[in-house]
Amino acid sequence: MKKTNGKIAGLKNEAKTSACPQGNRALTSNQGLPIKDDFNTLRAGSRGPSLLEDFLFREKIFHFDHERIPERVVHARGAGAHGVFKLHTPIPEFTKAKFLTEPNKETEVFVRFSTVVGSRGSTDLARDVRGFAIKFYTDEGIFDLVGNNMPVFFIQDAINFPDLVHSLKPEPRNEIPQAASAHNTFWDFASLMPETAHTVMWLMSDRAIPRSYRMMQGFGVNTFKLINAEGTSVFVKFHFRPHLGVHSVVWDEAQKISGRNPDFHREDLWDAIEAGKYPVWDFGVQIISKEDEAKLEFDIMDATKVIPEEIIPIQYIGTMQLNKNPDNYFAETEQVAFHPGHLVPGIDFSDDPLLQGRLFSYLDTQLSRLGSPNFHELPINRPKKNIHNFRRDGMMRHEVPQEVPNYNPHSSSGSGCPYLSSVMKGETPFETDPGTSSGDKVRKRSETFADHFSQARIFYHSQTPIGKKHIQDAFSFELGKVTREEVRQRYIGILVVIDSDLAKIVADRVGVAVPDGLSEETLQVARQIFEDYPKLPNYNEDKIFPSLSMEYHCSYDSIKTRKVAALIEDGFDFEEFQQVKKRIEQEGAILNVVTSKLGELRSKTGQLVKIDYSLLTMDSVLFDALYIVGGKESKSRVYANVTAQSYISDAFKHNKTIGFGYDSKEEHDLMYVSLANKGPGVILLEEESDIETFIQSIALHRNWSRELLLDQML
Ligand code: HDE
């Protein structure tokens, strides 16, 4: 078996079930010394004191004491997977990067998804931006695309990043709350920094509570450049689009999942890959020519702005599939080190001041996290290409350089000397796009960055009714948690500029008045950045771009990998159960038998069925739909169980499809009747064709119209 990059090649996704996959091996110390007894410390007599000379004990504890490394200062909580990027449409007209120009080229990738604010052990379901970072192991070296699941960012200049993050993190006095933006300091900061308004809208939308990492879009956010073999450059934004569609949970559900299974997203990704249901994304480029750039009313160097795909379409040129879980979380997902400055020839960064600041931060942070400038030698970070240079030594150096000279230029001959890539045959060197830039040294923001509200308004107006409702609810929740009334008040001053109806709804719910516009404090801060604020370029459009809404990216044609809970007890209808199970599984979804105990159940005709979970260890929020299995005896037992009742009421509240097994025309299922009267997505499985209706309803992901209907009934 071949060893590559520290991993055993050939173990791709094989279930590693054998107790000792690498064969029987002696237990050894870190120095390779075989150990006979790993259960007892060395002592003076079996009841006597432990001896300091016990070097085996000390080595074991010493290593354990130092197991933790500092978590990432942001994006600490994450999950990763290996995969492959396949190019289907080469783009040599835009770039000379080989992985984007060689027809059908396949490039290995490692992807890490993350939340931003919470610490490493926090919940996956926080309302938060999600990181979407990809390491491409190209033939020309590492290319890192360190993006997010939202196309815009809170701030325009990297110098504000520590302030933004401090305000979002738990408050300094008591370290409360964990992984949440719903507290005083964040809203204080946001209310004083109007440039955050657009991304805050995204944060309040359902994008911030995804159903799964597999169901998120990915965006490079900052503007980059592509450079072709002739040296011509264009600006570019990078995009990923999930084949499973973009889907979210609802906020009440997110909070409950956080308690029931804080590992919900990482488990979902892990399970899908283990089951061979590999998630796939389309990869696209949005090319911005100089002419297009001139036509845009906003500045593409400003990371708080999005270029809707209706204005400049995205060209999809490849797919990314994730097909292998890490062998070891720490070695791979924790030690992977991304950096927007890890580029390959044909790709360059732009002058975006946020991106320029990131170029310093990501390298710097690896020193405190991984402790050494040699982090690139860790297996997960190592490029596939050989490295030749004169960077030497440092902590934890793995390479053993064979060449004598450690300086350049040198006059020693022999093999293995590094040469400048420009003089090596067949190598394309990295060359910075010359661009043009000159000017006085100033601490000044371009006035083209001064419009903070047009895109926030466009975003809100581009949402569907349910999307708008969820944004109103999210603002009401978040500001409702803010105890400083003046902060709540000040934020309504921002909302009023975005949309006065939105401001009225939220102001009413959080108990403050609706002002005419921005507060004096907000203006004071804004004028430190733009002297003439707000009398500056402001395009104030009232457009709608459907692509900004999640609905636009949902897919409703499949229930693949969705989880359905079958609530069931002894005395169920075996024939119906088998029919429903068969159809659900044929469609690629998972049906789990959930009941009051573990073991087996007996149908009314005597067949036995294995139980997957007990009601106590799972919860309604961990499933996409419910199926109450038919059979009078089974159903009456299910309805008598208060835990099962809460499964049903939660599924209804969270707009999930609920299928009711059928008993007889004479005896109405009162539970079914009462729910069906209140909204769509409640289905009686009377005939075989009803199973198809049930499946189509699950494919809708959620019955959003139920929520709107219930709202009207209030
Ligand atoms: Fe990051 N960011 N960031 N960020 N970021 C980090 O680097 C930083 C920004 C993003 O899974 C850190 O290795 C600054 C935008 C992701 O390992 C750190 C600024 C976007 C990840 C850092 C930004 C991102 C990070 C912390 C403002 C979307 C996780 C640990 C100028 C395009 C990568 C680390 C992973 C991580 C700094 C803004 C995405 C401290 C200074 C905009 C996905 O270097």
**C-alpha span between 134 and 407 (Å, rounded):** 33
Torsion of CA 381, 385, 386, 388, to 10 degrees: -90
Q: How many CB atoms lie within 10 A of CB 605?
A: 11
Dihedrals phi, psi of 660, to nearest 5 degrees: -105, 125
Give residue 416's pLDDT: 53
* Span from the CA of 75 to the centroid of ligand 1 (angstroms): 7
Strands (E), 560-599: 563-567, 590-595
Torsion of CA 491, 496, 499, 504, to 10 degrees: 90
**C-alpha span between 207 and 364 (Å, rounded):** 30
Q: Ligand 1, residues 129, 130, 237, 361: which to mutate, most atoms within 8 A of Cβ?
A: 361
Q: Whose CA is nearest to atom 34 of ligand 1?
A: 362
Degrees, nearest 5: CA angle 280-140-145: 45
Regarding the beta carbon of 73 and ligand 1, being less than 6 Å apart is answered yes
Nearest atom (ligand 1) to Cα of 221: 32
Q: 387 is written with which tokens?
A: 């490295």
* Span from the CA of 175 to the centroid of ligand 1 (angstroms): 22
Give residue 417's pLDDT: 60
**All structural domains of the chain with their residue ranges:** 2-42+55-65, 78-181+210-377, 453-552, 559-713
Nearest atom (ligand 1) to Cα of 133: 43
Give residue 149's pLDDT: 98
Q: 276 is written with which tokens?
A: 């061979």
Strand order of the β-sheet with 590-595 is 613-614, 590-595, 563-567, 625-628, 657-661, 682-685
Give residue 427's pLDDT: 81
Regarding the beta carbon of 148 and ligand 1, being less than 6 Å apart is answered yes
| Residue type at 542 in one-letter notation | D
Helix (H, G, I), strand (E, B) or coil at 551: helix
**C-alpha span between 390 and 283 (Å, rounded):** 36
78-181+210-377: CATH number: 2.40.180.10
Q: Whose CA is nearest to atom 30 of ligand 1?
A: 72
| Residue type at 178 in one-letter notation | Q
Overall CATH class of domain 453-552: mainly alpha
Regarding the beta carbon of 118 and ligand 1, being less than 6 Å apart is answered no
Under-70 pLDDT residues of the chain: 1-23, 413-423, 666
Tell me which residue has tokens 């783009």.
91
Contacts of 561 (CB under 8 A, 6+ apart): 214, 244, 272, 275, 277, 588, 589, 590
Picking from 114, 281, 147, 154, the residue whose alpha carbon sits closest to that of residue 224 is 147
Contacts of 386 (CB under 8 A, 6+ apart): none
Regarding the beta carbon of 78 and ligand 1, being less than 6 Å apart is answered yes
Regarding the beta carbon of 607 and ligand 1, being less than 6 Å apart is answered no
Tell me which residue has tokens 């102001």.
507
Q: Whose CA is nearest to atom 7 of ligand 1?
A: 362
Residue-wise pLDDT for 383-436, tens only, equals: 998 888 889 999 999 999 887 788 888 777 655 566 666 567 778 889 999 987
Instruction: Name the CATH code of domain 559-713 (choices 3.40.50.880, 1.10.10.10, 3.30.230.10, 2.40.30.10).
Output: 3.40.50.880
pTM reported for the whole predicted model: 0.95
Q: Which residues belong to the active site?
A: 75, 148
* Span from the CA of 187 to the centroid of ligand 1 (angstroms): 21
Q: Whose CA is nearest to atom 43 of ligand 1?
A: 131
Q: Whose CA is nearest to atom 23 of ligand 1?
A: 358
Whether the upstream peptide bond of residue 21 has omega within 30° of 0, thus cis, is no
Give residue 11's pLDDT: 39
- Whether the CB-CB separation of 241 and 217 falls below 8 Å is answered with yes
**C-alpha span between 686 and 694 (Å, rounded):** 11
Regarding the beta carbon of 489 and ligand 1, being less than 6 Å apart is answered no
